[in-house]
Amino acid sequence: NYPAKVQIIEVSPRDGLQNEKQTVPTKIKFELIEGLINAGVNKLEATSFVSPKWVPQMGDNSELMQLINQSRRPEVCYSVLTPNLRGFENALVLKPDEVVIFGSASETFSQKNINCSIDESIERFAPVAEAAKAAGIKVRGVISCTVGCPYEGEIAPSQVAYVTKRLVEIGAEHIGIADTIGVGTPIKVQNALKAAMQYIDVKDISGHFHDTYGQALANILTSLSLGVAQYDTSVAGLGGCPYAKGATGNVATEDVVYMLHGMGIETGIDLNKLIYVGQQISDFLGRANGSRTAKALLAK
Ligand code: HMG
Ligand code: MG
């Protein structure tokens, strides 16, 4: 019993590019976003309002949002990451539709990624969530390392339950369950999701799976069977977190769309147009296309 329709949350402009060493011009990011929207994407993570010292590639966050605002598409939900009030205030003037507060189920990863403990992160997120609500902006919480951590190894579902509970308490309307380093396998992912489902309805949960061990589609399939109908994906499989050594890209949007359409599940995305966009950004970055579906269809 799978959902009839899936919401794709395209994360390539943010997760896909944040780890890129070469500077990607703002205009190229904008063209990527426009291409994705023209292929049918209607929800995306545009950028993050984090410290440019920590993540230089996202240092053009305001410029990119200004460019987007010149031809903003009303049907599209533009999300941005805001780890603290400073980031939120910088983002607010640019009117994102949604802000993402991003915590971790692993203490060590929380320290490495956002420089504070899990409990401290909740204290930093609370005023962000409050201010966002006051401004009529949606608040999504994302939890990293929900099955495994590059520093601590396996993560207990009780940790996922705890962080979900805290994020929901401070006002997150949605929870993303992330396998940051792609180590998860289906039963472990189910356990993480079930832990979150103690505190939030499955309709407000999304899955964010990196494909490091080739498990992402299996993890999506198992999540679909639990009723999860929203997934973060990245065109051409771009991505990785700078604070998760060895983590490769997110699951490729093309591969997810191919699987879902093959199962009769709607996404609203035009696969051929999407493949073109994925190949364009791969060419720009000088990388092999990380989508198996794109490679197969382009070779035809
Ligand atoms: P901090 O150093 O603890 O913050 O950083 P601070 O408040 O002590 O400030 C230190 C300096 O940063 C100050 O500047 C602040 O002004 C500045 P200075 O006085 O040294 O010149 N600062 C900021 N500048 C711009 N925007 C801000 C901001 N905040 C402070 N928002 C902070 C805390 C969170 C900012 C930092 O640790 C950081 O930026 N970390 C990067 C986190 C990140 O972007 N990680 C990657 C995204 S998460 C991810 O990829 C996982 C995900 O995909 C899901 C998954 O796969 O698991 C979502
Ligand atoms: Mg990620």
Q: What is the pLDDT of residues 166-185, one digit of tens each?
A: 999 999 999 999 999 999 99
Element (H, E) at 47: strand 43-48
For residue 116, indicate whether it is catalytic.
no
Residues 6+ apart with CB under 8 A from 234: 10, 11, 12, 15, 16, 249, 250, 251, 252, 253
What's residue 248's pLDDT? 82
Name residue 177's beta-bridge partners.
143, 207
What's residue 101's pLDDT? 98
Distances (CA, A) of 165 to 78, 83, 169, 200: 25, 18, 6, 8
How much distance in Å is there from the Cα of 187 to the middle of ligand 1? 33
Which portions of the chain are predicted below pLDDT 50?
Answer: none
What is the value of ipTM here, to two decimals?
0.98
Per the CB < 8 A criterion, the answer to whether 182 and 212 are in contact is: yes
Residue of 50, 62, 163 to mutate, ligand 1, most atoms within 8 A of C-beta: 50
How much distance in Å is there from the Cα of 181 to the middle of ligand 2? 8
DSSP string, 181-201: TS---HHHHHHHHHHHHTTS-
Question: Is this prediction's pTM over 0.80?
Answer: yes
Q: What is the mean pLDDT of the chain?
A: 97
Q: Which of 77, 145, 149, 241 is catalytic?
A: 241
Residue 178 CB burial class (10 angstroms; 0-12, 13-18, ≥19): buried
Neighbours of 248 (CB within 10 A): 18
